[in-house]
């Protein structure tokens, strides 16, 4: 199960980078909660359910020309997947490209993502699951 | 234009220190992209005026109502302006006074900030702009 969840997490990250809404919805539980790296839109970066997933993609599309996630490390503990890597993004208004480290925490249930949370500092993601070294 | 941007940056800092978010928004493009370095475990990048309001709330949550910037030097790079400053606040959990050297980079268009990035390592701000402190003339606050 752990290996399956890691593969699912990587698929979620890829779907986010590709802005592939149908694939993202297929990977997500109807009660999924997204807590984005970006405070965008009216929800401040928190989105719930499939409608929230659609809004998340729309808000990303409106604000950013490019958002790409690169995963460099991972750890799976049962239903929880911790990913560490970098995020590369370019704002539509600013045109500035930015690259920064980030951590992601994903939780799965019955093969679907039920929660996704991005952290500015990978250590925060480790802290969230009690894994600080 | 570059001198204008520097003056705008000064005034934006004054608005920040007044904790008047609406006054601060007067300096922000509606599609501003604000990359924060020091707020808590919330989002890292704030977008638009709603994002700036959220950033102010998150800063207050992290550093208290009296969070303020003490400018030490400005740098004028035309389209970009940079400030070196000390962030003063109070850790809400620890109650301890916080004094953190930091830097802000602003990119201006039409008199408004379209890109903002905060740094806790000042040299990183200049490195991102491809300049060195030795090559720049610091401008007193």
All structural domains of chain A with their residue ranges: 2-123
Report the alpha-carbon distance of residue B88 to residue B68 in Å, rounded: 5
Residue B37 CA to residue B73 CA, distance in Å, equals: 19
Cβ distance of B45 and A38 shorter than 8 Å: yes
Provide CB contacts within 8 A for A70, sequence distance 6+: A85, A86, A87, A88
Q: How many helices and strands, by DSSP H and E, does chain A display?
A: 4, 7
Any domain includes B137: no
- Angstrom distances, CA of residue A115 to CA of A106, A118, A128, B123, B131: 6, 10, 13, 37, 41
Best of A42, A93, A123 to disrupt the B interface (most B CBs within 10 Å) is A93
Closest chain A residue to the Cα of B54, Cα to Cα: A44
Can you tell me the distance from the alpha carbon of A118 to that of A83, in angstroms, rounded to the nearest whole number? 9
The residue range of the domain holding B124 is 2-129
Q: How far is B72 from chain A (nearest CA, A)?
A: 26
Q: From CA B47, how far away is CA B9, in angstroms rounded?
A: 19
Rounded to 5 degrees, what are φ and ψ at A96? Answer: -90, 135
> What is the nearest CA distance from B32 to chain A, expressed in angstroms?
7
* Contact state of B33 with A120 under an 8 Å Cβ cutoff: no
Tokens of B12: 């934006």
Q: Determine the distance in angstroms separating the CA of B86 from the nearest CA of chain A, rounded to an integer.
A: 22
| Mean pLDDT of the A48-64 span | 94
Neighbours of A79 (CB within 10 A): 15
- For B23-80, the pLDDT digits (tens) are 999 999 999 999 998 766 667 899 999 999 999 998 898 888 889 999 999 999 999 9
Give the pLDDT band (50/70/90) at residue B102: very high
Q: Which residues of A touch B47 (CB under 8 A)?
A: 38-41, 63, 91
CATH 3.10.450.50 fits A2-123, yes or no: yes
Query: H-type helices in chain A, by residue range?
Result: 2-18, 21-27, 49-63, 122-128
What digits encode the pLDDT tens for the residues A24-47? 999 999 999 999 989 887 788 899
Question: What pLDDT, on the 0 to 100 scale, is given for residue A132?
Answer: 60
| Number of domains comprising chain B | 1
Instruction: Answer yes or no: is B42 within a domain.
Output: yes
Q: Please provide the average confidence, as pLDDT, over all residues in chain A.
A: 91
Please report whether residue B141 resides in a domain: no
Identify the CATH number of the domain in which residue B111 sits.
3.10.450.50
Q: Is the pLDDT of residue B92 over 80?
A: no
Give contacts of B54 with chain A, Cβ < 8 Å.
39, 44
| Distance, CA of A77 to CA of B18 (rounded, Å) | 46
pTM of the model: 0.88
Residue with tokens 């929800």: A43
Band of residue A120 on the pLDDT scale cut at 50, 70, 90:
confident
pLDDT in tens, A5-18: 999 999 999 999 99
Contact check, Cβ <8 Å, B33/A93: yes
Query: Which among B32, B43, B50 has CB closest to A37?
Result: B43
CA dist., res. A8 & res. A60, Å (int): 21
Candidates B29, B36, B45, B55, partner chain A, best to mutate (most A CBs within 10 A): B45
Minimal CA separation from A86 to chain B, in Å: 13
Residue B17 lies inside a defined structural domain of this protein: yes
């Amino acid at each position: 199960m752990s290996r399956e969840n890691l593969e699912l997490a990587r698929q979620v990250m890829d779907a986010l980078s590709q802005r592939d809404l149908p694939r993202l919805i297929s990977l997500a539980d109807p009660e999924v909660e997204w807590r984005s790296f970006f405070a965008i839109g009216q929800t401040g970066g928190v989105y719930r359910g499939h409608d929230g997933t659609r809004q998340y993609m729309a808000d990303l599309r409106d604000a950013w020309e490019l958002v790409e996630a690169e995963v460099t490390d991972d750890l799976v503990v049962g239903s929880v997947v911790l990913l560490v890597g970098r995020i590369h993004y370019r704002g539509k208004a600013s045109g500035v490209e930015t690259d920064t480290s980030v951590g992601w925490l994903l939780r799965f249930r019955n093969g679907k993502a039920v929660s996704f949370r991005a952290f500015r500092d990978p250590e925060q993601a480790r802290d969230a699951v009690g894994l600080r070294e | 234009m570059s001198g204008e941007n520097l003056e705008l940056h000064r005034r934006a800092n004054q608005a920040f220190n007044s904790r008047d978010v609406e006054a601060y928004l007067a300096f922000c493009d509606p599609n501003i992209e604000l990359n924060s370095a020091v707020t808590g475990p919330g989002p890292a990048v704030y977008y638009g005026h709603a994002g700036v309001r959220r950033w102010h709330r998150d800063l207050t949550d992290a550093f208290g109502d009296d969070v303020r910037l003490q400018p030490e030097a400005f740098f004028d790079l035309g389209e970009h302006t940079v400030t070196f400053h000390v962030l003063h606040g109070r850790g809400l959990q620890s109650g301890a006074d916080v004094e953190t050297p930091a830097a802000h980079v602003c990119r201006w268009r039409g008199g408004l900030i379209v890109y903002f990035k905060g740094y806790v390592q000042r040299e990183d701000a200049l490195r991102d702009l491809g300049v060195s402190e030795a090559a720049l003339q610091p401008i007193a606050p």
